[in-house]
Structure 1
Amino acid sequence: MTITYEWRGSLDNAELDRLHAEGFGHPVGRTDWRGRLERHSLGWVCAHEDGRLVGFVNVAWDGGVHAFLLDTVVAARHRSAGVGTALVATAAEHARAAGCAWLHVDFEEHLRPFYLDGCGFKETAAGLLAL
């Protein structure tokens, strides 16, 4: 089975709600993903297998040279098969093509090997304020 990656790819809100809930361990919501993405994102990458959404990452930005990865998620059955790294690589390629000079990501500790080793991010100092 072949997985395809598409920048600003087509997606169904309900399908992304299910994938997001699976990946982040919360109940399935009813988010207007398409509206949110079109208002706030430089782009996004969808991974599809046989027409089914199996991976997703959102690329938010500041309108200038900084882009930010959000909501990186891969279906459980496709994890550890390179889907996540391909999503991030595709996101980086398109952010670079749009003139961005920096791609930021924050992550939980257990994802450190994925982002630093698998995707090539460098560790930096950062801050976080819970609102």
Structure 2
Amino acid sequence: MTPLPVFEWRGAIDNAALNALHAEGFGQPPAGTDWRARLHRHSLGWVCARTDGRLTGFVNVAWDGGAHAFLLDTVVARERRGSGVGAGLVATAVRGARAAGCEWLHVDFAAELRPFYLGACGFRATEAGLIAL
């Protein structure tokens, strides 16, 4: 039986582990990003999922300093996808943003992730705009 993950709001960040997970999820080689510095400087919070102590999921919660928070970089280790880790990450992010006084949590996603975000996570569809920079 696969052990259950532990979800941590503002959990400890290991840059190498998060770079490797990010590369696995987004198909890019590890960029050597200093996640600790970036998150502490720009984020309301983040959620780490750990299974047997190993990082198996992550989501960043950016914000505007007021009522709006935004999910970024949601990623789950390949072997844990479809097991509820992603929904657990989002649920923990919702609780963290709500506790911080945010009124809205936004997420943008690719069309194939619509069932996950609108179904499993409870987001509702809205209209939005985007400009590629």
Instruction: Please give the range of the TM-score, normalised by the shorter of the 2 chains.
Output: over 0.9
* 1:90 is aligned to 2:85: no
> Of the candidates 45, 65, 68, which is equivalent to residue 66 of structure 1?
68
User: How big is the shift at 1:33?
Assistant: 0.3
The amino acid of 1:112's aligned partner reads R
Q: Which runs of 4+ in 1 moved over 4 A?
A: none
Matched, 1:121 2:113: no
Cα distance in 1, alignment partners of residues 88 and 51 from structure 2: 14
Deviation at 1:2, TM superposition (A): 2.7
- CA positional deviation for 1:96: 0.4
Superposed CA RMSD in Å reads 0.5
Match of 1:28 among 26, 30, 41: 30
Pick aligned residue for 2:21 from 19, 22, 27: 19
SS of the counterpart of 1:60? strand
Deviations 1:62-88 (A, max 9, x none): 000000000000000000000000000
Q: Given the two structures, how large is their TM-score scaled by the length of structure 1?
A: 0.99
**What percentage of aligned pairs have identical amino acids?**
69
Hey, what's the Cα distance between the residues in 2 that align with 1:113 and 1:53?
A: 24
Q: Does the 8 Å CA contact 1:13/1:31 hold for their aligned counterparts?
A: yes
Check whether the contact 1:8–1:46 (CA below 8 A) recurs between aligned residues.
yes
| Aligned match for 2:113, one of 99, 104, 111 | 111
Aligned pair 1:40/2:42, yes or no? yes
Structure 1 gaps, min length 5: none
Q: Secondary structure at the match of 2:102?
A: coil
Q: Structure 2: which 5+ runs fail to align?
A: none
Normalising to structure 2: TM-score of the pair? 0.97
